[in-house]
Amino acid sequence: MRLALYEPDIPQNAGTLIRLAVCLGLSVDVIEPCGFVWDDRKLKRAGMDYLDRADVRRHVSWRAFFAEHRSGGSRLVLLTTRGDERYTDYAYRSDDCLLVGRESAGVPANVHAAADARLRIPLAAGERSLNVAVAAAMVVGEALRQTLGFPEPPP
C-alpha cells in the first residue's frame, strides 16, 4: 500500500504523514510542487529520524506521478470532502494508493476525476474537514485493518 501527497503545503503535515508511513510499513509518493522547500526544518522536525528510513518517491508533477501509477496497475483512492462513498464502506486492496490533497485546496477537478474511488470521512453537521494527517491516519488504519496489513511486532 502507498500513501500519495498531492502538492503538500505544510511541511509539518508532510513530515507527520511520512512518519506515519514508516511506522506502518507504507511507501510514500510526493507529487510536486510542494509549498515548501523539501529540506525545510519543519519537515525534519515533524518527521524526526523517520525521514531517513522512509521509502519516498518524489514526482515532478501530477502528470509524471499518474503515468507511473497507471503503469503499475493499482487503484488510486482519493480521500476528499467531496467523496461519494464513506471510507469505512470501501473494500481496500493491499496494492491501493491512497491520495490526499493539498491542505489549502484539496485536488483539482482533473485529479478528482482520475481517481478510481473518492472516499469521505463522515463529519458532524456543519463541519468542513479534518487535518490532512489526521484524515490519512484514519483511512490508512481502516485500509490496513481490512487487508490485514498492519506490521507484526518482532517476537
| Phi-psi category of residue 52: left, alpha or beta, with phi > 0 → left and psi -120 to 50 → alpha | alpha
- pLDDT for 53-99, tens place per residue? 999 999 999 999 999 999 988 999 999 999 999 999 999 999 999 99
C-alpha cell at 29: 509518493
Taking the C-alpha atoms of residue 29 and residue 5, their distance in angstroms, rounded to an integer, is 6
Cell reading at 11: 511541511
C-alpha cell at 119: 472516499
Q: Which domains does the chain have, with CATH numbers?
A: 2-147 (3.40.1280.10)
Q: What is the pLDDT of residue 155?
A: 78
- Maximum alpha-carbon separation in the chain: 47
DSSP structure class, residue 35: S
Q: How far apart are CA 154 and CA 122, in angstroms?
A: 35
Residue 40 pLDDT > 80: no
CA distance 3 to 30: 9
Nearest to 39 by CA among 57, 14, 22: 14
pLDDT one-digit tens code per residue, 106-154: 999 999 999 999 999 999 999 999 999 999 999 999 999 999 999 988 7
Q: Which three cell numbers stand for residue 16?
A: 507527520
Q: What are phi and psi of 28, to 5 degrees?
A: -125, 135
**Backbone phi, then psi, for 106, in 5-degree steps?**
70, -135
